[in-house]
Structure formats: C-alpha cells, structure tokens
C-alpha cells in the first residue's frame, strides 16, 4: 500500500497538490479525459463527479476542486483496471473540477466548471 500523501492533501494550491500527489505540477490538456459533473450543484457538500479516460497505461487519477482552500479532494492509484472513477466531492464555491491522469509516466488533464449555489436557491 502506498504511503498517505499528507502534504498533497494539505497543499493550498493545485500546483502543490499535484507535485505532492503525482510528482510534478506540469500536465498537458487532453480531450481523452472526460469529466462528468453537474453544471450547477445546489449542495456543494455532495457534488457527484465521474472521471473516465481512453488513455492507455493509466496509473493514477487525481481530482482537484481548484477553488477549495485545499484543492486535492481525491486520488486513486490504479493498476490494470478500468480507467474510471466515480465519487462525490465537496466544493466550497464555484470553480473548476480538474481531473489529472497519470498514464505511462506523463500527466494529462481536463476540467469542467461547476457552479455551486448557496442554500440551493439556484443563484
């Protein structure tokens, strides 16, 4: 079992979280990564997110909510499995859900903006 990346989850920005969780903060944009999340989340405490990719050799998928004080919200180490994860994340306010995939040693990413409403009133 891998060691808990405490510094990555405590990082205050995406670059720090990326470096701690994935060993680098440099990534290339990839449309081969799909980020499925609602356009509007009425409850930022339980935002459903699904990440999938057609990239080969996927080793890890990490999910960031860039507007959160600690943006790394989940990280999954994968080995020989389908490159797909589904979870619920907490978002404090409107921002991007960034999915970073480590495949064959390189980092690739895609994102989707999610609007978080206050009190579920839609505005």
User: Can you list the domains of the chain with their CATH numbers?
Assistant: 6-116 (2.60.40.2470)
pLDDT at position 81 is: 72
User: What is the pTM (predicted TM-score) of this model?
Assistant: 0.91
* Predicted confidence (pLDDT) per residue in 51-106, tens digit: 999 999 999 999 999 999 999 999 999 987 789 999 999 999 999 999 999 999 99
| Distance in angstroms (rounded) separating the CA atoms of residues 16 and 34 | 23
pLDDT at position 118 is: 64
């Amino acid at each position: 079992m891998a060691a808990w990346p405490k510094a990555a989850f405590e990082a205050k920005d995406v670059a720090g979280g990326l470096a701690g969780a994935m060993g680098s903060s440099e990534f290339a944009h990839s449309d081969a990564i799909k980020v499925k999340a609602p356009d509007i989340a009425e409850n930022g405490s339980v935002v459903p997110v699904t990440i999938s990719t057609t990239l080969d050799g996927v080793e890890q998928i990490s999910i960031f909510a860039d507007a959160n004080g600690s943006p790394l919200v989940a990280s999954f180490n994968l080995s020989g499995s389908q490159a797909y994860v589904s979870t619920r994340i907490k978002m404090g306010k409107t921002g991007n859900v960034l999915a970073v995939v480590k495949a064959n040693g390189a980092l690739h990413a895609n994102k989707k903006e999610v609007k978080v409403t206050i009190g579920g009133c839609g505005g």
